[in-house]
Amino acid sequence: MHAITSQMTTSTLLLLLLTTLTLLSTTFAAVQPPSSAATICQYTPYPSFCRSTIPINNSTANVHDYGRFSVRKSISAALKFSALIDKYLRRSSILTTGAIRALQDCQYLAGVNVDFLQNTFQTVDKTQTALSTMKSEDIQTMLSAILTNTQTCIDGIQATASSWSSKNGVLAPLANDNKLYSVSLSLFNRGWGVKSKTMRSSRSSSPHKKLKNGRLPLKMSEQTKAIFETVGRRNLLQTDDGGDQVVISDIVVVSQDGSGNFSNIMDAVNIAPNKTKAEDGYFLIYVTAGVYEEYVNIPKNKYYLMIIGDGINQTVITGNRSVVDGWTTFNSATFIVTAPNFVAVNITIRNTAGAVKHQAVALRNGADLSTFYSCSFEGYQDTLYTHSLRQFYRECDIYGTVDFIFGNAAVVFQNCNLYPRQPMSGQFNAITAQGRTDPGQNTGTSIQNCNIRAAEDLGSTKTYLGRPWKEYSRTVYIKTFMDTLIDSAGWRAWSGDFALNTSYYAEFDNSGPGSDTSGRVTWPGFHIINATDAVNFTASSFVMGDEFLPQTGVPYNGGL
């Protein structure tokens, strides 16, 4: 499998390495012809910044040399910023709770950025030739996430700006770091990225590896549970054709009545093994029916973890954190996952803070190659935070009001039900608020073969398909049913003419009374696309679904 992983070295050793690396460390023959800084930098979003930051004075330097240099410089910047945040947090006695929580978010995100940059450098330092499609996508995904992480830190600091006077000491270096990371992404895409702008079509347009009866066999008998508790490695799920099987390495049961191994979910998560491999199979946590009032956090080292419940509205995980009550949006979530190759099935995740508490996240997902199947996410504003990396949702229910699917992952929703519900007085509903900040990011929200219908409590509130949260916001609706609740304009501006030229909003072959495009917005960023364009946003193309979804056992359509 190709999940993004990392191997950390100590900061001291890394800094020593960075200072001793020569500018042109490779001995490979140049694949790209030599270029000047002016020529290379003109292809980045910040040409003058690029020229002043990457002053390579060598007539034999090419785009790979510039790319390597920018990644090394990015690592140094990320380490310095991490140290800066640590310094601020040591002065926490003079900061408000809101400022401390925003800085703690930044501290975590800075560490993730260092991990991703180290992984990137290990790849680009070894080759000047084209990478495999999957490896190229992996690196572009990490570099895209670095920009997302940095922007998340900026948003959190700005949200608490009125509560501390020294905020510019954090925001100023972040602004430069963001430009540097953008340059690194642009140079990588030019030097090592997939050359064709048209993504490959899927292997099949029919459901791939669909399980028996189209569903996972989730009703576990006592005998089945006993088998998995006593025998370490078994094939739990099997496809119709007897081919791919979902391999389970171990199973634990969470039950509130004391009959399982644990009575709460986090105790089960904590004993899961760290950094397992694909061939080891999934560590399965079976959570029996019940309402679990706890905050679940699947950390980044718990690879290949699978959580299965007894069904939507049967196994329920619930919390009520919100921005109004002092949490950052980033850490208001009831359920957080950052571990690669995570799978969740048959659970409901709620945030019950209510519309009056504004931003209140049910699920925050920053897990690469993660999958949610037959799950429900319930909240109001900001219900589902598809924060970063590559994600897939199948046959899920999503309830919310303002921007209730938001973030900057590369994400595909397939065969899902989207339920706008009644917001606060004076508010409107926006289903999506996509947060792409850079044209080089491989991110966006794809909603395919879904259903958009009013929740039971929705009155006559105006409801829109989305609005541009960030400058290069990208959202596509494909073959989706849209009921009468969708406003004829379809999309709504964020503020004035912000991002109306640079965003990418598209519709293809949708149905229902709300899908009529004759009254849609006339922004330059809005498009009615054809099948050739739409296939770029399918599971196989947009999130590399053929590489990780078969192992999960979850059914999916690779193409249109």
Domain stops at, among 157, 192, 227: 192
CB neighbours of residue 520 within 10 Å? 19
For residues 457 and 31, give the distance between their C-alpha atoms in angstroms, rounded to a whole number.
Answer: 61
Whether 312 and 180 map to the same domain: the answer is: no
In a domain, 8, yes or no: no
**Three-class SS of 47-76:** HHHHHHHCCCCCCCCCHHHHHHHHHHHHHH
In a domain, 481, yes or no: yes
CATH of the domain at 467: 2.160.20.10
Query: Residues 461-472: pLDDT tens digits?
Result: 999 999 999 999
Whether 296 and 187 map to the same domain: the answer is: no
Whether 175 and 308 map to the same domain: the answer is: no
In a domain, 136, yes or no: yes
- Among the options 138, 310, 397, 403, which is catalytic? 403
CATH of the domain at 70: 1.20.140.40
Q: Which stretches of the chain score pLDDT less than 50?
A: 6-31, 197-221, 223-225, 227-243
CA-closest candidate to residue 51, choices 247, 183, 186, 178: 183
In a domain, 29, yes or no: no
Residue-level pLDDT at 29: 33
Domain stops at, among 143, 176, 192: 192
Look at the chain and report how many structural domains it folds into: 2
Whether 306 and 168 map to the same domain: the answer is: no
Question: What are the tokens at 310?
Answer: 């007894």
Residue-level pLDDT at 34: 57
In a domain, 309, yes or no: yes
For residues 39 and 559, give the distance between their C-alpha atoms in angstroms, rounded to a whole number.
Answer: 38
Q: Among all chains, which residue has been given the structure tokens 């240099």?
A: 69
Whether 544 and 409 map to the same domain: the answer is: yes
Given a contact cutoff of 8 angstroms between Cβ atoms, the answer to whether 428 and 402 are in contact is yes
Whether 297 and 440 map to the same domain: the answer is: yes
Domain ranges, residue 89: 37-192
Residue-level pLDDT at 36: 67
In a domain, 304, yes or no: yes
For residues 187 and 438, give the distance between their C-alpha atoms in angstroms, rounded to a whole number.
Answer: 13
In a domain, 266, yes or no: no
Cα dist from 464 to 45, 360, 402, 490, 507, whole Å: 31, 20, 10, 5, 13
Domain stops at, among 192, 207, 222: 192
| Annotation says 403 is catalytic | yes
In a domain, 17, yes or no: no
Instruction: Tell if the pTM clears 0.85, that is, is over it.
Output: yes
Whether 188 and 301 map to the same domain: the answer is: no
